[in-house]
Chain A
Amino acid sequence: MNAAALHRAAGLRSGAEALSGSLPPLLAEARHLAAALLMGAHGRRRAGMGDEFWQYRAAVPGDEARAIDWRRSGRSDAHFVKEKEWQAAQSVQIWIDAGRSMQFASAPALPEKRDRARLLALAVAVLLIRGGERVGLSGDTLPPRSGSVQLLRLSAALSAAEANADYEAPQANALLPHARALYLSDCLGDPEPLRAALGIAADRGVEGALVMLLDPQEEAFPFDGRTVFESMGGTLRHETLKAGDLRARYLERVAERKALLGDLCRAAGWQFTVHHTDASAAAELLWIYRALERRR
């Protein structure tokens, strides 16, 4: 083994360790966030329930023989079917915008939008999986499954997600019918793919929530003077001589974009909210949870 190979192996290992290193904290943080919520409004839900059992009902003609719970039926004359309504609960598919624009944080004290999105997504996943739901990522990388192992898979997938383009379009093709979806994105790119995705979701009866994650600077536009603005990947570029002049018009466009997204969501039966990275993640988590819980 020559020196170059040694070097490569060492680099790989250190990279792997750095990657795996961020995983437990993210999961831990997400669990912490989720626990805060469970302790509150939903704490009692789990008490005494234990597993996926919902109820026994009398078997009716048409029930498959193997659906009959013989242990229960043996204690009486009638046949009972063990209903697994809870277990057949929703699949939730989460899409996190992997665009490089999500890597933006205006101040060192603020998290990147991507990090906040991962945190929220994983915390929701913790909540949902504890509630027995199946959670997966949109697209075909990680289909919805339940169980705590899924949490590890999720966090691994989230941490591993690599950004390529400046702005990414949502993938709606793999949406399961009648599932639920959670989209986390800054929605600053072209809205057309989003519109298409929401259309597909509506067609398939998928309901969900769209969270627009914005950095405070993106809302305030506190710039002045001659400035060249570049997107995070450097593909888009805009030069202005008086950035201060643009502020009003930029803010107008942001408001337009929010209005557009709100309209799209309303049309598709989705919930829409705007979250800022300097705001509390727990409050947002509560909103998301309620939004996904709605009509369940």
Chain B
Amino acid sequence: MLVLGPIGFTAPWLLLGLAALPLLWLLLRAVPPAPVRRRFPGVALLLGLDDRSRQSDRTPWWLLLLRLLGMAALIVGFAGPVLDPETRAETRAPLLILFDGSWADARDWPARSARAEQALDEAGRSGRPAAVVSLTDLPPGALPFQAPGSWQERLPGLRPRPWGGDPQQIARWASELEGDFDTLWLSDGLRRPYREDLLAALEARGTVRVFEGSRPVLALAPAVFEDGAIALKALRAAPGPRIETEIVARGLDPNGIERELARLPLVFENGAPEARAALSLPPELRNRVQRFEIAGQRSAGAVSLTDDALRRREVAIVAGRDNREGLRLLAPDHYLVQALAPVSDLIDGTLDEIVQANPDVIILADVATLPPGTAGAIEDWVREGGLLLRFAGPRLAASDLARDAADPLLPVRLRAGGRSVGGAMSWGAPKSLREFGAGSPFEGLEVPPDVTVTAQVMAQPDHELAARTIASLTDGTPLVTRARMGRGQVVLFHVTANAEWSSLPLSGLFVQMLERLAVSSGLARPAPEDLAGTVWTLDTVLDAFGAPDAAASLAGVAGEELAQRLAGPGPGPSVPPGLYAGEARRIALNVIGPETEIAASRWPERIAVEGLGIGGERGLKGAALSAALLLLAADLLASLALAGRLRGARGAAGGVLIAALLAMPGGGAKAQDAPPAEPQAARPPISQKAQAAAEAVVLGHVLSGDAATDRIAAAGLAGLSRTLFERTSIEPAAPAAVDLESDALDVYPFLYWPVTAGQPIPSDGAYARLNAYLRTGGMILFDTLDADVAGFGAGAPNGRRLQELAAGLDIPPLEPVPRDHVLTRAFYLLGDFPGRHAGRDVWVEAAPPDAEQVEGMPFRNLNDNVTPVVIGGNDWASAWAIDENGARMFPVGRGFAGERQREIALRFGVNLIMHVLTGNYKSDQVHVPALLDRLGQ
């Protein structure tokens, strides 16, 4: 191979041909363009006229240059140019291609596969055996060295796994390696515990080359609730420059279709290893979120499934005073129920039952004394993670609760009596709320100025009081206090839950505060002992590319193992990532756990690490040959132009050709460079015409190819449409001309098809669509227009043409319209069906052979369908036709009898369209006697 700078040639001796180019120059220069020979009588006048200049005797220099460039491109192209040729020492050792095979590989898996394939190609060229091994899917036994070709066939079957390699297994595998081989390690770019040892083991066997993708590894930690918002944390392996990306929340919409529910920007600052974002969603939407993913990352690490942590809270409300029925607005729990009912599941019942139901939140509104035994149960429940929310009130104020000693179920000790401010019997104005301080769960909520407090219970001053206060009044007295207990907490509002003591429950702030408190009581991560003895089944499984899939049939996973996986190492072959369902509870096992950290791999200096961008030879042969072709095509056009043969339309066509040729390679290159897009069902755009026809009832007529016939057909349908508009509830829009080859048929309920002898036979595609149209309830009225001169059959040219046209159609057996056909009474009662001619029978789909007239019925119970075709020759369109002024276009018959015939023709049209649109509705009258009978008349 000859290498010149970045370009190498596989067949360099062909380049000698370039030396012949100057010779070509001389040859081409001497030959002028060939003349055009023309017969021209005026030549007698031309005799003696000399050319003023002899310049174009020789080919112009630029045309020569064009040709030479084209020839040079041809020569260079056949010399096999290669960009970035790989020149390496030849070796005969076997080649091991090693994939990390983890989720981080998935982000650029096609590129990795291509790199492996390229390596296999090279190995195949130099006759080296090769083996392909994925560390997440280690082969048993010795390394499977085989011919590279057989590996190339199996390469597409190799997939990354949504977990990392198991260090112990890998160490065991590494220790069993034997023989000498070179290694190409396609690393996933993450720091792995097994990496150093394995590298050492591989280097003992031969040279190791490492390939790493250049795309950053991004990962998404599980979403958690933090103070009312969904906190999202994204990680990256290598802190680098600023990256702006987006997180997408996906879930089911109310129709059960998965779609994007929210999208928020995420910014990795320059050098920052992680990025955080908070997503505030309405509860309804939040409950629907199934997973978060980093936009544009195809990797399981960039997807985080959500589980029960985002679901609706179960809230139990217990009010103390239930004896004032009818005064709902004064009920202590009215505002609570109003505020919480839309966003949570409320539980009713006695305290005992409620505690057993294990809700997320228990709200005690002005409940001072708890039943004996219940207090202990509630305390245990709080320690297990429950949120006890208490509201003060007259009862609490009057009781001795937490006077002398702290009550475990109250965050603070209370002073006797409480206080009243701003009332008729007190000094001072009602107090309003102070802005929420840092550390309060209400931080950031806006305090409306009209929220006032007139009475409250007072907390005993205490060394813990300040820490436990999460909301206070402007004078500093605590309004809401909170104490943590075990994994749960107890919160006390020092006012009532109704509007007696304060206007807080009337304000929107109350709802927001409840929401903050209620949602911040999320489920803690389950400990192994919590899950002991339970079995969890995989509900949704995540593959390495981050695509969720319904898990087929996997054995259940023991709760202990799941909890252990959740706590530490993350998913593995036996516990794949996904959503695990237990009894009434779902747990998401994500690739990235809350504590998972990722870091970039580090390789010793001696190891050459190649990236995706650098690697890979690129053959330039195609490009060079295309350039040659383009140049020669340009030369062709230029020569034609010079010889005066490129004029007018042909010139324009040539220009279009050039433009197409120029546009083509660019488009092709783009298509090759783009990453393989997900197959998307391409839906053809709906034409304006079809859309207009779909929006109203539009009668269509098939274009016959004869302008006069088509004009009459359009006018006829216009006349029929007007008649329908005037007389019936069918209000058609203007009729449309239908081209069978290009238009959508299924938007027309009815097609009028005038048959002329010269009509072209539709294409196969048009027939396919016509048959689909007929099968799905469309109707075609064939009109041979010749009932005045011909009978039905193949005797007349139009009839023959109709037979040829209809040969490709899926038409059922026909019969002349029977007297009891629904066409005779769909709107008008009709006996015959004249058009402009009152010639002959009209044929429709034959009645089923078993149709019998029942005694007492006026007509048979015929087909249950609309007849797909009606065939006749009475030239109905001419009878219906109106011109643009609304006047009849053609006379029918003579005098009054003719007008009567036209009227019947119009009635036939009305019946026909009625039949198309209502089917055999009128046939149902057969059942009228039976119905009357049943009604007892």
Seen from chain A, the residues whose Cβ lies within 8 Å of a Cβ on chain B are 101-102, 104, 166-167, 186, 188-190, 215, 217-218, 221, 223-232, 236-246, 249-250, 253-254, 257
B57 at the interface (CB under 8 A from A): yes
Residue of B33, B38, B45, B54 touching A253 (CB-CB under 8 A): B45
Give Cα A217 to B39, complex, Å. Answer: 11
CB nearest to A253 among chain B residues: B45
CB nearest to B643 among chain A residues: A225
Given known A227-B644, A238-B49, contact A254–B34 (CB-CB < 8 A): no
B56 at the interface (CB under 8 A from A): yes
B639 CB to closest chain A CB (Å) equals 10
Given known A229-B38, A230-B43, contact A245–B52 (CB-CB < 8 A): yes
Given known A223-B644, A241-B32, contact A231–B38 (CB-CB < 8 A): no
B20 at the interface (CB under 8 A from A): no
User: Can you list 28 A-B pairs, Cβ within 8 angstroms, ordered by A?
Assistant: A104-B40, A188-B42, A215-B41, A217-B40, A218-B41, A225-B645, A226-B33, A226-B35, A226-B36, A226-B56, A227-B35, A228-B36, A228-B37, A229-B46, A231-B39, A231-B40, A232-B39, A232-B41, A236-B47, A238-B46, A238-B49, A241-B51, A241-B54, A241-B56, A245-B52, A246-B51, A250-B49, A257-B45
Those 8 A-B pairs whose CB atoms lie nearest each other, nearest first: A225-B644, A224-B644, A101-B41, A226-B35, A229-B43, A225-B643, A253-B45, A229-B40
CB nearest to A215 among chain B residues: B41
- Please give, as numbers and ranges, the residues of chain B lying within 8 Å of A245 by CB-CB distance: 51-53
CB nearest to B54 among chain A residues: A241
B114 at the interface (CB under 8 A from A): no
B642 at the interface (CB under 8 A from A): yes
B44 at the interface (CB under 8 A from A): yes
Docked-complex contact B41 and A186, CB < 8 angstroms: yes
Size category, B interface:
20 to 34
Give Cα A236 to B643, complex, Å. Answer: 22
- Please give, as numbers and ranges, the residues of chain A lying within 8 Å of B39 by CB-CB distance: 104, 229-232
- Please give, as numbers and ranges, the residues of chain B lying within 8 Å of A246 by CB-CB distance: 46, 49, 51
Give Cα A239 to B37, complex, Å. Answer: 9
Give Cα A35 to B564, complex, Å. Answer: 112
B218 CB to closest chain A CB (Å) equals 64
- Please give, as numbers and ranges, the residues of chain B lying within 8 Å of A230 by CB-CB distance: 37-40, 43
B260 CB to closest chain A CB (Å) equals 62
Instruction: Beyond the given A104-B41, A238-B47, A245-B52, please list 10 additional residue pairs across the A-B interface where CB-CB is below 8 A.
Output: A104-B39, A224-B647, A225-B35, A226-B35, A229-B39, A231-B41, A236-B43, A246-B46, A250-B46, A254-B42
B636 CB to closest chain A CB (Å) equals 15
Give Cα A24 to B623, complex, Å. Answer: 66
Docked-complex contact A228 and B38, CB < 8 angstroms: yes
Give Cα A243 to B644, complex, Å. Answer: 9
- Please give, as numbers and ranges, the residues of chain A lying within 8 Å of B647 by CB-CB distance: 224
- Please give, as numbers and ranges, the residues of chain B lying within 8 Å of A237 by CB-CB distance: 43
Give Cα A189 to B47, complex, Å. Answer: 11
A69 CB to closest chain B CB (Å) equals 55
Docked-complex contact B45 and A242, CB < 8 angstroms: no
A88 CB to closest chain B CB (Å) equals 40
Docked-complex contact A188 and B45, CB < 8 angstroms: yes
- Please give, as numbers and ranges, the residues of chain B lying within 8 Å of A225 by CB-CB distance: 33, 35-36, 642-645
Residue of A167, A228, A244 touching B35 (CB-CB under 8 A): A228
CB nearest to A234 among chain B residues: B39
Give Cα A280 to B57, complex, Å. Answer: 42
Docked-complex contact A223 and B38, CB < 8 angstroms: yes
Residue of B33, B35, B645 touching A239 (CB-CB under 8 A): B35
B510 CB to closest chain A CB (Å) equals 90
Given known A225-B643, A230-B37, contact A189–B44 (CB-CB < 8 A): yes
B642 CB to closest chain A CB (Å) equals 6
A100 CB to closest chain B CB (Å) equals 8
Residue of B32, B41, B53, B643 touching A188 (CB-CB under 8 A): B41
Give Cα A104 to B43, complex, Å. Answer: 12
CB nearest to A249 among chain B residues: B49
Give Cα A90 to B45, complex, Å. Answer: 36
- Please give, as numbers and ranges, the residues of chain A lying within 8 Å of B49 by CB-CB distance: 238, 240, 246, 249-250, 253
A115 CB to closest chain B CB (Å) equals 14
Give Cα A237 to B37, complex, Å. Answer: 10
Docked-complex contact B47 and A227, CB < 8 angstroms: no
- Please give, as numbers and ranges, the residues of chain B lying within 8 Å of A249 by CB-CB distance: 49
**Contact residues, B606-655 vs A (CB, 8 A):** 642-645, 647
Docked-complex contact B44 and A231, CB < 8 angstroms: yes
Give Cα A245 to B54, complex, Å. Answer: 11
- Please give, as numbers and ranges, the residues of chain B lying within 8 Å of A215 by CB-CB distance: 41
Docked-complex contact A221 and B54, CB < 8 angstroms: no
Residue of B40, B44, B645, B647 contacting most chain A CB atoms (<10 Å): B40
CB nearest to B52 among chain A residues: A245
- Please give, as numbers and ranges, the residues of chain A lying within 8 Å of B46 by CB-CB distance: 229, 238, 240, 246, 250, 253
Give Cα A53 to B695, complex, Å. Answer: 80
Contact with A along B546-588 (1 / 0, CB 8 A): 0000000000000000000000000000000000000000000
- Please give, as numbers and ranges, the residues of chain A lying within 8 Å of B32 by CB-CB distance: 226, 241
Give Cα A221 to B647, complex, Å. Answer: 14
- Please give, as numbers and ranges, the residues of chain A lying within 8 Å of B42 by CB-CB distance: 188, 218, 221, 229, 250, 254
Give Cα A188 to B56, complex, Å. Answer: 29
Docked-complex contact B57 and A188, CB < 8 angstroms: no
CB nearest to A230 among chain B residues: B39
Residue of B43, B51, B54 contacting most chain A CB atoms (<10 Å): B43
A166 CB to closest chain B CB (Å) equals 8
Contact with A along B209-235 (1 / 0, CB 8 A): 000000000000000000000000000
Give Cα A227 to B647, complex, Å. Answer: 15
CB nearest to B37 among chain A residues: A228
- Please give, as numbers and ranges, the residues of chain B lying within 8 Å of A244 by CB-CB distance: 644
A276 CB to closest chain B CB (Å) equals 13
- Please give, as numbers and ranges, the residues of chain A lying within 8 Å of B645 by CB-CB distance: 225
Docked-complex contact B38 and A242, CB < 8 angstroms: no
Give Cα A244 to B56, complex, Å. Answer: 12
**Contact residues, B33-92 vs A (CB, 8 A):** 33-47, 49, 51-54, 56-57
Give Cα A232 to B54, complex, Å. Answer: 27
A90 CB to closest chain B CB (Å) equals 32
- Please give, as numbers and ranges, the residues of chain A lying within 8 Å of B40 by CB-CB distance: 104, 217-218, 229-231
Contact with A along B400-436 (1 / 0, CB 8 A): 0000000000000000000000000000000000000
Residue of B42, B53, B643 contacting most chain A CB atoms (<10 Å): B42
- Please give, as numbers and ranges, the residues of chain B lying within 8 Å of A186 by CB-CB distance: 41
- Please give, as numbers and ranges, the residues of chain A lying within 8 Å of B53 by CB-CB distance: 242, 245
B651 CB to closest chain A CB (Å) equals 11
- Please give, as numbers and ranges, the residues of chain B lying within 8 Å of A238 by CB-CB distance: 43, 46-47, 49
- Please give, as numbers and ranges, the residues of chain A lying within 8 Å of B34 by CB-CB distance: 226
- Please give, as numbers and ranges, the residues of chain B lying within 8 Å of A239 by CB-CB distance: 35
Give Cα A221 to B35, complex, Å. Answer: 17
- Please give, as numbers and ranges, the residues of chain B lying within 8 Å of A236 by CB-CB distance: 43-44, 47
CB nearest to B57 among chain A residues: A241
CB nearest to B44 among chain A residues: A188
CB nearest to B45 among chain A residues: A253
